């Protein structure tokens, strides 16, 4: 008879321990790194090493006179550095450097999660693996379909939206963003 309360007590202790463990890293936690142009938030379920591999910045620094600083040694620090590097290159390619520009970048694991965020913001469906919205000054992307070119395209939208007092027509903005994407490694 005395064993039961002891067992319950153990269960309760374990429950509390697990609950505390879960509270330390809830399923929806974000890993955040602040860079010069971008503050990147990476969902905790994203494979950060795989993500880092997918953002291939080979030759992105080509022609760049100034490069951002690397602020740590982890995959997330390298990702933050790469985002700043791509952002710098897109500014150079477009010759547009809006003052004090800084954007949030949120990276999910799956494309369907990005589509869910798009539907929440715009109240309509969109099949986008990545998008930037000036309204929230945030670029949304996913590990599943990320690349340096995808990021360059969306960063170009961010730069265009900040550079022009009156935003250009959507088709023109799209052409400029495609130009940045195409020439990123030249």
Residues at the interface with Zn ion (CB under 5 A): 174, 177
- What's the order of all strands across the beta sheet hosting 38-43? 30-34, 38-43, 103-108, 138-142, 131-133
Task: Give the nearer residue to Zn ion in terms of CB position, either 31 or 104.
Answer: 104
Q: What is the largest CA-CA distance in the chain?
A: 79
Nearest distance from C-beta of residue 176 to Zn ion, angstroms: 9
Nearest to 141 by CA among 113, 183, 119, 177: 113
Nearest distance from C-beta of residue 63 to Zn ion, angstroms: 23
Q: Give dist(CA 174, CA 120) in Å, integer.
A: 23
Task: Give the nearer residue to Zn ion in terms of CB position, either 80 or 156.
Answer: 156
Task: Give the nearer residue to Zn ion in terms of CB position, either 83 or 151.
Answer: 151
Nearest distance from C-beta of residue 83 to Zn ion, angstroms: 17
Nearest distance from C-beta of residue 31 to Zn ion, angstroms: 27
Q: Is 25 within 8 Å of 52 (Cβ atoms)?
A: no
Task: Give the nearer residue to Zn ion in terms of CB position, either 86 or 177.
Answer: 177
The residue of the chain with the least Cβ separation from Zn ion equals 177
């Amino acid at each position: 008879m005395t064993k039961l309360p002891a067992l319950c007590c153990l269960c309760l202790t374990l429950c509390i321990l697990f609950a505390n463990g879960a509270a330390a890293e809830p399923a929806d936690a974000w890993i955040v790194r602040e860079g010069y142009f971008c503050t990147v938030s990476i969902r905790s379920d994203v494979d950060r090493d795989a993500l880092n591999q997918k953002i291939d910045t080979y030759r992105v620094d080509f022609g760049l006179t100034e490069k951002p600083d690397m602020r740590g040694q982890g995959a997330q620090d390298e990702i933050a550095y790469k985002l700043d590097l791509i952002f710098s290159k897109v500014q150079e390619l477009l010759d547009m450097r809006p003052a004090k520009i800084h954007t949030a970048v949120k990276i999910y694991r799956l494309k369907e999660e990005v589509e869910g965020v798009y539907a929440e913001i715009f109240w309509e469906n969109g099949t986008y693996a990545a998008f930037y919205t000036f309204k929230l000054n945030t670029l949304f992307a996913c590990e599943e379909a990320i690349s340096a070119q995808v990021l360059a395209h969306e960063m170009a939208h961010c730069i265009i939206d900040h550079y022009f007092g009156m935003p250009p027509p959507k088709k023109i903005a799209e052409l400029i963003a495609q130009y940045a994407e195409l020439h990123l490694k030249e």
